[in-house]
Amino acid sequence: MKIAVITGASSGMGREFVYALDGKGYDELWVIARREERLKELQTQCNTRVRVMALDLMKRESFDTYKAVLEEVKPEIQVLVNAAGFGLFGTFMEMDLDQQLDIIDINDKALTAMCYLSVPYMAAGSDIVNLASNSSWQPVPYINVYGASKAYVMSFSRALGVELKTKGIHVMAVAPGWIKTEFFDHAIHDDTIKYFDRFYTAKQVIDKAMKDLAKKKSVSILGLPVQAQVKLIKHLPVSLVMKIWCGQQKK
């Protein structure tokens, strides 16, 4: 059985990845998220058979469940998409500690575990897609923990790609700019972050990611302005980059 596995599939980027992978020749799409009712909607919206796995990836027992299903079914995972994640905007010391630790658990720990458990079921030609961010490239005050968590995703994905190259397994990080999804409903709880230069839709990001995946790129970045920004940041002192960012946010 050839499958695609998508985490964070109940909304936003994960859901758009499900739509993008539907009808691409997989026997099943395995969709993972906490909200079971949202996942079941996908069963009626997709042409490909959808296996619903209502799991909370912040809980380690969820990985035991995923591992057990893999051992039972023994599928060939042709694509793993790690799109589950969230962030918070605000001052580090003024935000809830547990919520900030949850960011690390879902953005980093869960992504790492999903890769570790899935790779043994992959063959040459398989792909891993990890959702990073434009925040991956530099420290980001007032999006501190989220930015750091996405820097981990970028570093981890690039290094894992090198390690898995001998197996013929490709790894790509998707590093978009601002995207108007449910992410903002959870991230914004005050007016700490005021400046957003431009927004893209989740579909625009995923359409570009799918094209880049076909080209076996290691990083997918939508939009010439974002691409130019990433190149510029690499040549500027980190302190200056953070100063510019804080100036944009009136800090």
Question: Which residues carry out catalysis?
Answer: 146
Q: How far apart are alpha carbons 70 and 115 in whole angstroms? A: 13
Q: How far apart are alpha carbons 47 and 230 in whole angstroms? A: 37
Tell me the DSSP string of 101-118.
Answer: HHHHIIIIIIHHHHHHHH
CA dist list (Å): 248 to 1, 55, 140, 150: 50, 38, 12, 21
Half-sphere exposure of 244 toward its Cβ, with a 13 Å CA cutoff?
12
Q: Which residues contact 136 (CB under 8 A, 6 or more apart)?
A: 147, 150, 151, 153, 154, 173, 175
Report the amino acid identity of residue 113.
Answer: A
Q: For residue 33, what is the enclosing H or E element?
A: strand 28-33
